[in-house]
């Protein structure tokens, strides 16, 4: 799928948008709670923006802002669900507490998703996945001449790709 920078940026935003529900931590801090006793965060993170309704509405809104609406909107929906999957399997707390995803919220209290084998957020599978995805992004930047930096700065993207190609050879001339 060949998408413009704007559309790729919207998809990237979609992939992190479920964590907008973490902003409720501000309410805890305003009330003087320490970070280890955040009531609002513990109650509403993985609830308000980690559900089917949010995924559909966010994909529709972000897709409507895209140049190629249907492909970008579909990719936004997929990106949000990949975020949910990653949270489902790899976001246990340091104390082993399991995060549930309230997938059918606000329609029902049921429909909660969880796995008993959820690994911790700082566990090796998350670290390995992060390193792997960064490696793929670097390779794609080197090979195709475009990187995630292009979402924010065209000149920064060009400089980054040029640095990669200077270090590892110019793929565009291969």
The two tokens of residue 50 are 């980690």
pLDDT at 174 over 60: no
Q: What is the pTM of this model?
A: 0.84
pLDDT class for 173, splitting at 50, 70, 90?
low
Q: Kind of pairing, strands 112-113 and 101-102? A: antiparallel
Any idea where the domains of the chain sit in the sequence? Answer: 1-119, 123-174
pLDDT at 172 over 70: no
Q: What is the mean pLDDT of residues 109-122?
A: 89
pLDDT tens digit string along 26-57? 888 888 887 677 888 888 888 899 999 999 99
The burial class, CB within 10 Å (0-12 / 13-18 / 19+), for 84 is buried
Give the separation between CA 85 and CA 80, rounded to whole angstroms. 9
Give the separation between CA 58 and CA 76, rounded to whole angstroms. 8
Q: What is the mean pLDDT of residues 49-69?
A: 97
């Amino acid at each position: 799928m060949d998408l413009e920078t704007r559309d790729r940026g919207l998809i990237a935003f979609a992939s992190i948008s479920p964590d907008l529900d973490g902003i409720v931590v501000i309410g805890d801090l305003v009330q003087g709670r320490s970070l280890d006793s955040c009531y609002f965060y513990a109650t509403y993170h993985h609830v308000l923006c980690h559900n089917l309704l949010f995924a559909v509405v966010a994909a529709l809104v972000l897709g409507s802002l895209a140049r190629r609406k249907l492909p970008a909107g579909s990719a936004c929906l997929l990106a949000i669900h990949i975020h949910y999957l990653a949270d489902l399997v790899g976001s246990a707390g340091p104390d082993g507490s399991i995060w549930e995803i309230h997938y059918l919220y606000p329609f029902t209290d049921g429909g909660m998703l969880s796995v008993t084998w959820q690994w911790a957020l700082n566990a090796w599978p998350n670290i390995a996945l992060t390193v792997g995805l960064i490696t793929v992004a670097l390779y794609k930047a080197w090979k195709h001449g475009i990187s995630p930096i292009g979402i924010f700065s065209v000149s920064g993207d060009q400089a980054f790709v040029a640095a990669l190609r200077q270090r590892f050879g110019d793929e565009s001339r291969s």
